[in-house]
Amino acid sequence: MLFDVIYGWRKWQEQRGFWGLLIISLCMFCCLIGLVVNLFWLLSSDRPQWVNNQAPMLTIAKKDLSGNIQPTAGYNIDLLKKIAGVEAVTSIAVQSGSITLGLKELPRVTIGFYSQNTIEMLGLAAPFSSQNLNAKAAIVSNQFWQQHLKSSLKESSLYYQDRSILIKGVAPQAMKRLGDIDIDIWLPESYLELGIPEMFADNPQLFLKTKGNRYGFALLSQGVDIELLQDAYMVLRQQTPWPDNGFADKHYSPWLIAGVELNPNGRDILYRQASILLLLLLGFGFIIFSGIVSAYSQQGITRQAEMRLKLALGGSRRGLMAQLFRESFPALLLVGFLSPLLGIVVIHYVGNIGVYQDYFVEGVRFNIWLWLVAILCSLLLFICCALLPLTGSINKLFSRGKQGHMSKIQQGIKQLVLVIQLAVITSVMLVSLSLMYHELQKYSSVFIAKDITSFKPKVDGRLSVMLTSEQLEGDWDVAGVPIALSSAPFTQLGAPSLKYQSQTGVGLEKPINGLYVSHNFLSLLGIPALSEGKLAENKVIVNQAMALQLAAEQGINDWRAVKGIALKVSGFYYEKHVQVAGIVSDSPHFGIANEPKPIIYLSLKDQNPLLASRIAPVFYSKSGNSGITSSRLNDWASMLSPKLSYDSGKSLVQLIEDTDPAGKLLFITSTFMALLIIFLVIFTLYNKFSYAVKSEQMKWAVMLAVGGSKRALMGRMVWTNLLLTTTSILFTLVIFALLDSYSQSLINVSLFQALIWAICIILMLLFIVVITLWAARAILKQNISVLLRG
């Protein structure tokens, strides 16, 4: 055993660096393929860990104008019970509230309300139980308990709506988040009745059932088609009138989601990430295993004489195969040892990525058996790739002639493998360059001034904010730095709170996102004006998306002509008649990766008087010292309320770019894999070209001796490889043309862009020329006498 190991190690004497690179790459491939397999395993479940009922279910919610999930009304959830195939429904209501814990008031606590039906249908684990539900006890999240209690729960209680509620347990960590909402406290659904306003005292169910604060879940009978159920639900919604005097429907489209899924967009992002990573890994694996085949094929050619001599002396094929396996045993041992270590590092890194933390609340779990299967399959493939080329050397025929030259069949196979390798690296380069170009396009579409700093308020209680006329009109400055205000953070507008309609009465009321701003907001942030106009009281500015929508509704051919149109804007006990004063470019309020949505900018003077004093404004400053500005803003806030303060300020452009963490992760992942593949291909092709020249050096030496030039020989080799590269590019073009629609649905990026293809073709041609000349020069720089000795 030891002899065979040492003998095999010595056989790699001239290629130990390349052999070591292949083994390390194989270790990386094993841990990454194990990661991807486990990601698909995690995403294969249609419900989170805290749901212990495995019966067929679906989630009932709404899709807002940005394509995000939103809670719906209990009235909409109950409608689903009328459709065949739905056995039962339940819901969880989510709303913010104020509680008192000891002597401390906590004004912004997120509360989840559940019922007996919720416990039974979803199979909620302890401490959720009928006993605690009937006792009207509270259950707190682990984060809330760690932050505010840190003691025994036996005698702990809290006050909600002036009711003392005993705390009976801590919810499982997996229930920390519903969708993108962190739940602090769980209360029985009966506590919802404590918050009913007096205007709904005669009909409390109207308030509870029409308020859009519930995520619904339906228990299905076997074999129900979700798409058919969605169609039937849409028809039922259209035929059923909305209750009068209740909360108005937001005109969001109903959304039925298979399973229990409150973050479908996050799931789609992770599935797309895993799919792209798998495709890149398949390319990476092909390069690795083709490199292993190439390296062992070269060794097999050089060891033909050795193998045939051993057979001639009485050796058996089985014995020679066992010897070859023992020679490869150190490589197997190294891969089996290093792969788990690299896997631990990769798992730790993935577990700290925000996109994964947001979706896998309980942490990124991995199935160790899937991991082991992935590694074992990779090792078996390695054994096949390593031993199969050497089996061709085990032949009973014995010859004393010089061995080591490739046959025509071997040369043909080598060229075919080279074409496939070049096609793989071309494909990876195209995907990476397309993703990079797509990301650069998104960032270049941000027209906000680079030196704008945003200061977000931190509120710890009820407020009564009174803004001065200077602040409202945009004439206020802090330490000589002009300041602009808005009613909400730039990238956190939330659900539309307003509706609009033409004053002529044309068209139905439609929901619209509105942002109340100071009169200098648009100019300070540098948002380009497409049709000049001044924001003022009773005069609004709209973005281009809103102008296009208004033009379509009013039958106007030119969207610029909507300037001057009179609109009626309404909200919660609020109505305002305004006029469109100007149009500005679309800004990424909904995230850098999302399509622009209609926005209406209103004056802070026009803000709903019922809400104006309760909302702390967001401040924006241009240039200046953010530390000094933050200090002055906090001085101003402390005079209004001790419960109001402001953060130290963040770059607005950076906040906008941070709205697309998935895009950044996809870009980093693809770039990392592309660099790995390119790095491995460089050494693989260099090793292959070097061996090709070396195996033909006797013929080349004779040609040089009879008057041939090294330049002509190198040019011939370059020309051959350029033809192979051109063939691989044409092959890649055909494959991409066939898979274009699938690739766009997978990564949402077009792979047929002239600029990207031109850059990729130029890089590939330069790439192959440089490596070919590099490999040929290393051999041909020697004297003819040295080449003739072989």
pLDDT digits (tens, 9 = 90+) for 698-750: 666 667 776 677 777 778 888 888 898 899 889 888 888 877 777 777 666 77
Phi, psi at 280, each rounded to 5°: -65, -40
Are 132 and 139 in contact by the 8 Å Cβ rule? The answer is yes
Nearest residue to 368 (alpha-carbon basis) of 37, 28, 23, 25: 37
**Is it the case that residue 410 has pLDDT exceeding 70?**
no
Choice between 23 and 519, residue whose per-residue pLDDT is larger:
519
Token pair, residue 419, equals 């074409």
**Residue 160: CA count within 13 A, CB half-sphere:** 26
SS3 105: strand
Predicted local confidence at residue 468, as pLDDT:
86
Predicted local confidence at residue 522, as pLDDT:
92
Predicted local confidence at residue 401, as pLDDT:
42
DSSP letter for each residue of 604-663: GGGS-TTTGGG-PPEEEEESS-HHHHHHHHHHHHHHH-TTEEE-S-EEHHHHHHTT-HHH
**Is it the case that residue 621 has pLDDT exceeding 50?**
yes
**Is it the case that residue 260 has pLDDT exceeding 70?**
yes
Choice between 357 and 62, residue whose per-residue pLDDT is larger:
62
Nearest residue to 173 (alpha-carbon basis) of 131, 123, 209, 139: 139
Predicted local confidence at residue 216, as pLDDT:
95
The one-character DSSP state at 124 is P
Mean per-residue pLDDT, 548-553: 88
Token pair, residue 674, equals 């592309």
Predicted local confidence at residue 396, as pLDDT:
45
Task: Give the chain's mean pLDDT.
Answer: 81
Nearest residue to 358 (alpha-carbon basis) of 661, 93, 583: 661
Nearest residue to 485 (alpha-carbon basis) of 431, 525, 544: 525
Mean per-residue pLDDT, 650-671: 80
**Rounded Cα–Cα distance for residues 750 and 433 (Å):** 11
pLDDT-based confidence at 373, cuts 50/70/90? confident
Nearest residue to 598 (alpha-carbon basis) of 621, 576, 569: 569
pLDDT-based confidence at 524, cuts 50/70/90? very high
Token pair, residue 74, equals 């209990």
**Is it the case that residue 88 has pLDDT exceeding 50?**
yes
Global pTM value? 0.74
The one-character DSSP state at 557 is S
Predicted local confidence at residue 583, as pLDDT:
94
Predicted local confidence at residue 139, as pLDDT:
93
Per-residue model confidence as pLDDT tens digits over 12-58: 556 666 777 878 888 888 888 888 888 888 888 888 888 999 999 99
Predicted local confidence at residue 20, as pLDDT:
76
Predicted local confidence at residue 495, as pLDDT:
60
Burial class (CB in 10 A: 0-12, 13-18, 19+), 555: exposed
Choice between 406 and 78, residue whose per-residue pLDDT is larger:
78
Nearest residue to 652 (alpha-carbon basis) of 529, 541, 526, 528: 526
The residues near 63 (Cβ < 8 Å, ≥ 6 apart) are: 69, 70, 252, 253, 254, 255
Predicted local confidence at residue 2, as pLDDT:
64
Choice between 610 and 95, residue whose per-residue pLDDT is larger:
95
Mean per-residue pLDDT, 267-285: 83
pLDDT-based confidence at 190, cuts 50/70/90? very high
SS3 224: coil
Choice between 133 and 396, residue whose per-residue pLDDT is larger:
133
Pairing of strands 138-140, 574-584: unpaired
DSSP letter for each residue of 330-356: HHHHHHHHHHHHHHHHHHHHHHT-HHH
Choice between 779 and 71, residue whose per-residue pLDDT is larger:
71
**Is it the case that residue 624 has pLDDT exceeding 80?**
no
Mean per-residue pLDDT, 759-774: 85
The residues near 554 (Cβ < 8 Å, ≥ 6 apart) are: 502, 506, 562, 565
**Is it the case that residue 782 has pLDDT exceeding 90?**
no
Single-letter amino acid code for the residue at 72: T
Range from 323-337, 606-620, 728-742 carrying the lowest mean pLDDT: 323-337
pLDDT-based confidence at 403, cuts 50/70/90? very low
Choice between 558 and 245, residue whose per-residue pLDDT is larger:
558
Helix boundaries (H) for 163-263: 204-210, 226-239
Predicted local confidence at residue 257, as pLDDT:
92
Predicted local confidence at residue 700, as pLDDT:
66
Are 213 and 71 in contact by the 8 Å Cβ rule? The answer is yes
Token pair, residue 306, equals 């050795």
Quote the percentage of the chain above a pLDDT of 70: 84
**Rounded Cα–Cα distance for residues 663 and 754 (Å):** 22
Mean per-residue pLDDT, 745-762: 80
Token pair, residue 756, equals 């990207």
**Is it the case that residue 7 has pLDDT exceeding 60?**
no
Nearest residue to 513 (alpha-carbon basis) of 543, 558, 474: 543
SS3 164: strand
Range from 11-15, 187-191, 535-539, 766-770 carrying the lowest mean pLDDT: 11-15
Helix boundaries (H) for 107-156: 116-122, 130-134, 142-144
**Rounded Cα–Cα distance for residues 460 and 502 (Å):** 39
Mean per-residue pLDDT, 95-100: 88
Are 584 and 541 in contact by the 8 Å Cβ rule? The answer is yes
pLDDT-based confidence at 249, cuts 50/70/90? low
Predicted local confidence at residue 697, as pLDDT:
64
Are 653 and 592 in contact by the 8 Å Cβ rule? The answer is no
Mean per-residue pLDDT, 195-214: 86
Predicted local confidence at residue 781, as pLDDT:
67
The residues near 203 (Cβ < 8 Å, ≥ 6 apart) are: 245
**Rounded Cα–Cα distance for residues 326 and 406 (Å):** 26
Predicted local confidence at residue 120, as pLDDT:
93
Token pair, residue 461, equals 């209680």
Predicted local confidence at residue 36, as pLDDT:
85
pLDDT-based confidence at 59, cuts 50/70/90? very high
**Rounded Cα–Cα distance for residues 101 and 279 (Å):** 52
Are 513 and 600 in contact by the 8 Å Cβ rule? The answer is yes
